[in-house]
Structure 1
Amino acid sequence: MEKNKFDVIVIGAGHAGVEASLACARLGKNTALFNLYDNKIAAMPCNPSIGGPAKGIVVREIDALGGEMGKAADATALQMKLLNSSRGPGVWALRAQSDKIEYSKYMEKTIKSQKNLTLVAKVVKEFIVNNNEVLGVILEDGTKISSQAVILTTGTYLGSEILRGQENYKSGPNDELTTTGISKALKKMGINLLRFKTGTPPRVIKSSINLEKLAIEPGTDLPLAFSSSTTDFKPIQKQEVCYLIHSTQKTKKIIEDNLALSAMYSGEVRGVGPRYCPSFEDKVVRFSDKIEHQIFLEPESISLDTFYVQGFSTSMPIEIQEKMLKSLPGFEKVVVDKWAYAIEYDCIDPMQLNLSLELKKIKNLFTAGQINGTSGYEEAAGQGLIAGINAVRKINQLPPLILGRDEAYIGVMIDDLVNKGTIEPYRLLTSRAERRLLLRNDNAETRLCKYGYEIGLINEKDWQKFLDNQFQIKQATKALKETRFSPKSQLADELKNESQANLTNGQSGYEILKQPNVKIETLVKYIKELENLTLNQLQSIVINCRFEGYVKKEQEVAERLKKLNKKMIPDDINYELVENLAIEAKQKLTKVRPTSIGQASRISGVNPADIQMLLFYLKKHYALKK
């Protein structure tokens, strides 16, 4: 701070800011991370967990690119689960119940010990801008700090307001500080802001709950981990349990009788809330024929005697919240630690971004996380990592890292935000990824490790470990194909006795594994190349074996689409001059300014006929190669 000059400034130390600042510092840039506090790093103001459907795969992708979230989640997990294991591998995902206190401490220690990174507990008020190029920031006390790039990762802290019943006051999450200066500065630069809303449920004292009335939700007893660097692949020694209950008819009636008192239904809320994570009163209204709803009780930390009441988000007044809680089974004598609330905040229209997460109007200003209209720690961290990487690459005059929709859920998310925008807090879902069989939990390293290594976030040791991992899978697959078993073999007897398979003729291990009931663990003792493989490696072999044809078809489609991404659109094109282009297509293309035909084809409102007209125009006026 003495020279008031940095290579990169990151504003906000949430999950996006942590990944962005660590990436910049690890890539050799002198980085300042500005935060409202000198602690509260990567805090969990909402649910105390990392991962889940699609989100768990994002955490694996962050790790494969050289990010930190997976390592922190493994180190501070209270419980680990493999979700959707009874369904197809395209939707498998890990979810960790995190110790939110220890997770934040882990990230704080990582930030404060990172070379090239300075944590600064000061408020940024506005930006230094010249000719639509950001040159630094101005602090609340008037101090000017210059930089070559700025990354904005302010989460839900821009102009935020807490809403609870008729209460409405300016505050960040959990009654923390908020800031209005940045919102004003963005508007002054011509950036369009949106107003979004999210909510959080009550936290209750665990010892006040009658646990005998609750159903236990244990973790998965398998050696699971998000990060490939987690070498102690053993199940968590003492997994904390979560609990499941259901709301009652009485809960429903309390909501219906007091609906007008909710901030959501009284007109207090102006922002748009998330469709996929609605408040409890919204569930009652939208699903009026449903008597009960699932509610999960999740431990927040081993150092706290509290449960997070997952699925019970509300903006009801405190006196109504108390009645709602006491209507739940086991909650007759509940004591509340923190009451629920809704929070409104400013975010930007993400269609103002390039795929690199740099704003189109303001050079060298990047944004990541909930400011881009997303919800969730994992979505924020994924964007933060990409924004950090691309800020450094912009400084170094290198092309940005743009992940394809067939390469990463992170790529799907950014592509959706930039090309389609969002009218509510965006949440990653497996259904958003049309190539989800390629974007699996088990193959994140295979897809992305090469990028992390080439960029410089994966070191030589970890790169060699990845190559060894791939070699072991290749050798094991080769052994499976070359080793044959007769119907009279010991393996055949074991498979038949366990009702896994009935061999009527000689088959290779690979052919046997294609049968859906065969467990690869049964083959391990017969093929030595399988013996020392991790659970993740074994899963990859099974999936590649059983879904070989489907994966090949997906890859062929992905390759065809990549050709469209290589057909570039010149920056200076005037879409008004493209003949026979629909009016809506002209408007959308002008707003998004896609860089390739592939990107143009994914914009809502741009149809195949429009793409054909665009190709004709480019071929005629720009000599576009086929």
Structure 2
Amino acid sequence: MNKKFDVVVIGGGHAGVEAALSSARLNKKTALINLYKDRIAAMPCNPSIGGPAKGIVVREIDALGGEMAKAADKTALQTKLLNSSRGPGVWALRVQSDKEEYSKYMQKIVIEQDNLKLIEAAATELIIDNNKIKGVKLSTGETIEAKAVILTTGTYLKSEILTGHEKFSSGPNEEPTTTGISKSLKDSGIELFRFKTGTPPRIYKNSVDLSRAIKEPGTNAKLAFSFLTSKYTPIENQELCYLIHSTNDTKKIIEENLTKSAMYSGKVDSIGPRYCPSFEDKIVRFSSKETHQIFIEPESLKGDAWYIQGFSTSMPIDIQLLMIRSLPGFENAEVKTWAYAIEYDCINPMQLKPSLELKAIENLFTAGQINGTSGYEEAAGQGLIAGINATRKIDNLEPLILRRDEAYIGVMIDDLINKGVWEPYRLLTSRAEHRLLLRNDNAESRLKAKGFEIGLVKKVEYDLYLKYVKEIDEAIKELEEIRFTPKSELALKLKELNQADLKHGYSGIEILKIPTVDINEMIPYVSKLQNLKNNQLQSIVIETRFAGYVKTERQTVERLIKLEKKKIPFDIDYDKVENLATEARQKLKKVKPLNIGQASRITGVNPADIQMLLFYLKNTYANDEKVH
């Protein structure tokens, strides 16, 4: 083994794969350390990619040159556009993934990637000298030197499995856990805490009767995560999901056995996810509700079991069986794998720079669940940014820091480093104040140029993107110029469909501004619309109908960008800033914001504190060009 690398990535989950691929593709000699080759990008929980906010993250990963979108498109069993009846700021693509094929796809990509070596071993210790990462020790006894290390350890740090009153040291699916990295971090003064997550049982398909379940089909719309995807799965080839509801018996079983749950027995010291709680937690938190939704989803075309979404639990096995068989159609259900909860170590993300480098340990980056997040998509987004910034740090380049108006990835990282986490963090559209700008359809226009500039988006793809933008502009131009009379074929068709009643001549763009008009009805009459992709059509509709809102939002962003440009010296002494509130002074010292914009988003720092800080910077650093 060559024991010297530019970048070493520890953990081959969704964060680790994106980190390792981005580093290798940016011409850095990279090692990816994972226990097993066949567990690369595994899906230990829900076999799906996307959803509200998360789906947009996948589009952003693709626009920057990442891999998750391509893998999701290639291995999709079912495709849906969520929230399509609501405003465009919350539209989101979601696919049910074939978890076996998804992992195999990523394994192949990793193995065939130039500059990337997969090492099947466990990382047991970080080598840190004078607050700077130097390398990693392996379970094989070998030592690997590295210029930068990225920790993407998921739920494997000092992890423990919990089922009922049982608690034992293990990673997911009874794989080995590691304690050495936690010790290395603690010894270097890094603050750790414990989080919890869980997974539901898997039930043999042939033991379940779904005749009483509600069928949940996919969509026939030509939708994809990746800009480069050109083949779409027709609805007749998509797998069905199903919806059932828990029963009063389910609720009664849980209420009578609540103290047997690991979560309510005093065995769990950690905090679980608010937005994906255990089923017993739902019963306690929503005690007035008699039933809850449960989705029955396939895991793989080759698989023999259903994934029971919304039914995670830490109950003992005998109670789990009672719970499962209380569900409609599950009276004779046979269990393939039981549900469990898992506790693991993670860091306080307020110890990170916006680049995802630890402030206290130079060249050590972290991404994914170690940063307190949950979800494959959040992990992959962080992994991509960490991989990019590790390579840029080695090359003495400025890090890639995405603003909150540029990407949901930017919102997530900004939240983590400035607000911290008290429970596993999940991205939601409500976390983004500029969500009308951060849409499913416009990820390319927001980020493709950055991906090209960094070097992850190749010229051939970027040229296709420029053509994509040109096609949109040409279509809008034709819509502005073409006119339709009340007796035109389009006008008569729109009236027949009750979409619009044109009383006089209208331009195409004026017709499109009518909220009830479906742009697809206009395609036969506007030549430049006829070969556009679904996302291009969406962009035209949204930019046309929401032009005023989008313009106002962009003006707000321009004002905020000015605050981002007002830099704060890293060695500033906040004790010398007069009239700062005590809490603000403490938070500013802890976070060490890079600029006024970041400082203003720290919880506990108020507008009055920002004014005092601006006054101090103006007087103390009047001639410092780095500040102005």
Tell me, what secondary structure is at the counterpart of 1:609? helix
Letter in 2 for 1:131: N
Specify the alignment match of 2:453 in structure 1: 454
1:305 and 2:337 aligned: no
1:275-424 to 2 correspondences below 5 Å: 275-424=274-423
Distance 1:201 1:471 in 2: 47
Q: CA deviation at 1:456?
A: 0.3
Moved more, 76-85 or 121-130: 121-130
Distance 1:309 1:584 in 2: 45
Any idea what the Cα deviations from partners look like across 1:571-597, whole Å, max 9, x if unmatched?
Answer: 110111100000000000000000000
Specify the alignment match of 1:205 in structure 2: 204
Specify the alignment match of 1:550 in structure 2: 549
1:106 and 2:116 aligned: no
Specify the alignment match of 2:494 in structure 1: 495
Distance 2:374 2:14 in 1: 11
1:184 and 2:179 aligned: no
Specify the alignment match of 2:620 in structure 1: 621
Specify the alignment match of 1:584 in structure 2: 583
Q: CA deviation at 1:235?
A: 3.0
Specify the alignment match of 1:604 in structure 2: 603
Sort the Cα spacing of 1:25 and 1:396 in 2 relative to 1 into closer, same or farther, 3 A. Answer: same
Distance 2:16 2:77 in 1: 24
Specify the alignment match of 1:442 in structure 2: 441
Distance 2:299 2:233 in 1: 22
Q: CA deviation at 1:140?
A: 2.6
Any idea what the Cα deviations from partners look like across 1:79-109, whole Å, max 9, x if unmatched?
Answer: 0000000000000000000000000000000
Sort the Cα spacing of 1:384 and 1:37 in 2 relative to 1 into closer, same or farther, 3 A. Answer: same
Any idea what the Cα deviations from partners look like across 1:469-511, whole Å, max 9, x if unmatched?
Answer: 0000000001001111111211111111111100011110000
User: Is this contact kept in 1: 2:218–2:235, CA < 8 A?
Assistant: no
Tell me, what secondary structure is at the counterpart of 2:439? coil
Any idea what the Cα deviations from partners look like across 1:245-295, whole Å, max 9, x if unmatched?
Answer: 000110000000000000000001111101111110000001100000000
Distance 1:33 1:550 in 2: 45
User: Is this contact kept in 2: 1:442–1:540, CA < 8 A?
Assistant: yes
1:24 and 2:19 aligned: no
1:541 and 2:540 aligned: yes
Distance 2:222 2:485 in 1: 33
Distance 1:479 1:463 in 2: 25
Q: CA deviation at 1:129?
A: 1.7
Any idea what the Cα deviations from partners look like across 1:33-53, whole Å, max 9, x if unmatched?
Answer: 001112200000000000000
Q: CA deviation at 1:143?
A: 1.8
Letter in 1 for 2:578: E
Letter in 2 for 1:134: I
Distance 2:364 2:25 in 1: 20
Distance 2:605 2:555 in 1: 24
Distance 1:280 1:129 in 2: 42
Specify the alignment match of 1:80 in structure 2: 79
Distance 2:299 2:129 in 1: 46
Distance 2:49 2:34 in 1: 22
User: Is this contact kept in 1: 2:203–2:337, CA < 8 A?
Assistant: yes
Q: CA deviation at 1:234?
A: 5.1
Distance 2:232 2:489 in 1: 30
1:476 and 2:466 aligned: no
Specify the alignment match of 2:462 in structure 1: 463
Letter in 2 for 1:229: L
Any idea what the Cα deviations from partners look like across 1:17-74, whole Å, max 9, x if unmatched?
Answer: 0000000000000100001112200000000000000000000000000000000000
Distance 1:320 1:515 in 2: 56
User: Is this contact kept in 2: 1:412–1:433, CA < 8 A?
Assistant: yes
User: Is this contact kept in 2: 1:224–1:235, CA < 8 A?
Assistant: no
Q: CA deviation at 1:394?
A: 0.3
Specify the alignment match of 2:525 in structure 1: 526
Tell me, what secondary structure is at the counterpart of 1:470? helix
Letter in 2 for 1:17: G
Distance 1:130 1:314 in 2: 42
Moved more, 46-55 or 229-238: 229-238
For structure 2, list consecutive stretches of 5 or more residues without a partner in the other structure: none
Distance 2:534 2:335 in 1: 41
1:2-81 to 2 correspondences below 5 Å: 2=2, 4-81=3-80
Moved more, 487-496 or 390-399: 487-496
Q: CA deviation at 1:152?
A: 0.4
Specify the alignment match of 1:149 in structure 2: 148
Distance 1:176 1:303 in 2: 23
User: Is this contact kept in 2: 1:352–1:592, CA < 8 A?
Assistant: yes
Letter in 1 for 2:160: E
Specify the alignment match of 2:426 in structure 1: 427
Distance 2:258 2:147 in 1: 50
Tell me, what secondary structure is at the counterpart of 1:212? coil
Distance 1:223 1:487 in 2: 32
CA RMSD of aligned residues (A): 0.9
Q: CA deviation at 1:237?
A: 4.9
User: Is this contact kept in 1: 2:219–2:235, CA < 8 A?
Assistant: no
Any idea what the Cα deviations from partners look like across 1:499-544, whole Å, max 9, x if unmatched?
Answer: 1100011110000001111011111111101111111111111111
Distance 1:131 1:211 in 2: 61
Distance 1:378 1:389 in 2: 17
Any idea what the Cα deviations from partners look like across 1:375-432, whole Å, max 9, x if unmatched?
Answer: 0000000000000000000001000000000000000000000000000000000000
Sort the Cα spacing of 1:181 and 1:236 in 2 relative to 1 into closer, same or farther, 3 A. Answer: farther
Q: What TM-score, normalized by structure 1, do the two folds share?
A: 0.99
User: Is this contact kept in 2: 1:135–1:148, CA < 8 A?
Assistant: yes
Distance 2:400 2:164 in 1: 45
Letter in 1 for 2:206: S
Tell me, what secondary structure is at the counterpart of 1:17? helix
Q: CA deviation at 1:175?
A: 1.0
Tell me, what secondary structure is at the counterpart of 1:552? helix
Distance 1:14 1:278 in 2: 22
Sort the Cα spacing of 1:23 and 1:537 in 2 relative to 1 into closer, same or farther, 3 A. Answer: same
Aligned-pair identity (%): 68
Any idea what the Cα deviations from partners look like across 1:148-187, whole Å, max 9, x if unmatched?
Answer: 1000000000000000001111111111111111011110
Distance 1:141 1:541 in 2: 56
Q: CA deviation at 1:142?
A: 3.2
Specify the alignment match of 1:172 in structure 2: 171
For structure 1, list consecutive stretches of 5 or more residues without a partner in the other structure: none
Letter in 2 for 1:52: G
Specify the alignment match of 2:261 in structure 1: 262
Any idea what the Cα deviations from partners look like across 1:96-137, whole Å, max 9, x if unmatched?
Answer: 000000000000000000000000011111122222111111
Distance 2:455 2:232 in 1: 26
Specify the alignment match of 1:571 in structure 2: 570
Distance 1:223 1:351 in 2: 41
